Structure 1
């Protein structure tokens, strides 16, 4: 009789825990993991968005009629977002494959990773940019140190109130610190959706628009898999995300700093902080040498 009573109490206890866990998960404001079926809506391109493997992988296609893309159902305010991507092979000149966060409106925030297509044999360009309160123009572009069309590689955006880190295969290639104290806009207030797109950008994407899209190579196809978000789903304007501390800034460890310095010394193609033609009357304030050194040392 005592054994039956203990089993009954244990069963009741387990049911209570399961019930509480179900309530917690239902009301959770944190995203863990990811699924293309469950977490995204079709943005454009109709059947050119092809989700496979029960939502674990996807291809985007661009043909002579349209590109394609998806957008997250949720808005996020801070978190880390990872996507494995295999880029359009062959002559991809004029194509733009993008993985980015963006809010809406004229004064929008945005964090960009864009891959600018190439002529066969030329390297892909990885272009990054950050908008805050509608102010952009902070491009940094890199050649990749591998062929991104041969296999999948992981590209990541890690964003919190203190800094943004862009990573390739978990190697940081760019760190942008919050410099609002010196008047530099930084995205901290506007929830953003996550976008993944493939589209025609031949007005600017390849050799500044000199090389156009060759539709005889269509369809152009890019592959995506293993999307992961460890992020805060914004509710009530994101008020619930103020205490979210995923990826809390502790600075890069020494190994990560060394890897990033290697990337910066060998693979940077364009850095807005070095564009003296664009900023003939003086570089942006955050491009001062002391501020750049501070970004890399913290």
Structure 2
């Protein structure tokens, strides 16, 4: 039965309106069903794998069984915890529930770094969640630094859920092939280890950090909305901690499991297999869906900041 002109116009309008709403980051979004990397690795306890980074015992609060850790930010300081080991490559993940209400200026970070052992040539892979005036308006920033590079490679996203109501998983896959940022097992960003990235690609063993701190000078509207401590204390909760990779032994010149993905006789790299080498076509489609709908900043599109874009930006065209 033919569709009438009025019905066709209505359908076209409906599709257009839904597309605009999703693109703005506030409409209904059905996340694609993709392979769940977080199902492949065990959950860790705080005491067995992590230690306090800063803030003291009143602000770094593991549960009795160590399966959940709460971090506190108040006017005196923020807080954080850090992995006991450094890793050459691997899979690193945490389920995070963010503080509610007014959180402008607050930064919650889940990241990797080796600034403790390589302060002038450090590498870093960052998830940074940036607070806002309204609980649903948290922004997600990802970043990559390599070998002390001062060039931030930021990309920023809206979220398609309220991150204060439930736990959501934020995961980093890092190996010699690529870095993949995932949210609830959906890839949102891939950084390929290409010739263009060269020394800017993180390549030294890193520890895993989780923190909450005062980012008043830049986090919300470029610093126009500082932390308002009348809403303090701000509490963020972490659970389902996963961390599996090639551990760094500081007494050995090379890692026990090789960085080229080939197992040696003494140990094996747990992050091997085709699923870790490259994204599947299904994952690529899901990633592009998220990026098209929710990414609102990429350094590769910032001509005001870069007179010449970083070389890897040309590979993406």
Any idea what the Cα deviations from partners look like across 1:78-110, whole Å, max 9, x if unmatched? 100110000111101111000000002111000
Per the TM alignment, residue 176 of structure 1 is displaced from its structure 2 partner at its CA by 0.3
Q: 1:125 aligns with which of 97, 118, 139?
A: 139
Q: 2:127 aligns with which of 92, 108, 113?
A: 113
Give the distance between the partners of 1:110 and 1:247, measured in 2 at CA. Answer: 22
Say whether the 8 Å CA contact 1:33–1:230 is kept in structure 2: no
Tell me what 1:239 maps to: 255
Tell me what 1:25 maps to: none
Give the distance between the partners of 1:48 and 1:40, measured in 2 at CA. Answer: 15
Q: Name which one, 1 or 2, has greater alpha-carbon Rg.
A: 1
Tell me what 2:23 maps to: none
Give the distance between the partners of 1:60 and 1:238, measured in 2 at CA. Answer: 35
Q: CA RMSD in A?
A: 1.7
Tell me what 1:284 maps to: 310
Normalised TM-score (structure 2):
0.78
Any idea what the Cα deviations from partners look like across 1:205-253, whole Å, max 9, x if unmatched? 0001010110000000011111011211111255223243605443211
> Structure 1 pair 282/149, CA: closer, same or farther in 2 (3 Å)?
same
> Structure 1 pair 224/245, CA: closer, same or farther in 2 (3 Å)?
closer
Q: 1:160 aligns with which of 170, 175, 180?
A: 175
Give the distance between the partners of 1:256 and 1:110, measured in 2 at CA. Answer: 24
Normalised TM-score (structure 1):
0.83
> Structure 1 pair 182/156, CA: closer, same or farther in 2 (3 Å)?
closer
What is the aligned residue count?
Answer: 259
> Structure 1 pair 65/237, CA: closer, same or farther in 2 (3 Å)?
farther
Say whether the 8 Å CA contact 1:32–1:231 is kept in structure 2: no
> Structure 1 pair 268/41, CA: closer, same or farther in 2 (3 Å)?
same
1:37 has 2:61 as partner: no
Any idea what the Cα deviations from partners look like across 1:58-97, whole Å, max 9, x if unmatched? 1101111111100111111110011000011110111100
Per the TM alignment, residue 180 of structure 1 is displaced from its structure 2 partner at its CA by 3.4
Say whether the 8 Å CA contact 1:63–1:218 is kept in structure 2: yes
Tell me what 2:36 maps to: none
Tell me what 1:72 maps to: 83
Say whether the 8 Å CA contact 1:99–1:112 is kept in structure 2: yes
Tell me what 1:49 maps to: 60
Tell me what 1:210 maps to: 224
> Structure 1 pair 155/32, CA: closer, same or farther in 2 (3 Å)?
same
> Structure 1 pair 72/278, CA: closer, same or farther in 2 (3 Å)?
same
Say whether the 8 Å CA contact 1:78–1:241 is kept in structure 2: no
Q: 2:200 aligns with which of 178, 185, 193?
A: 185
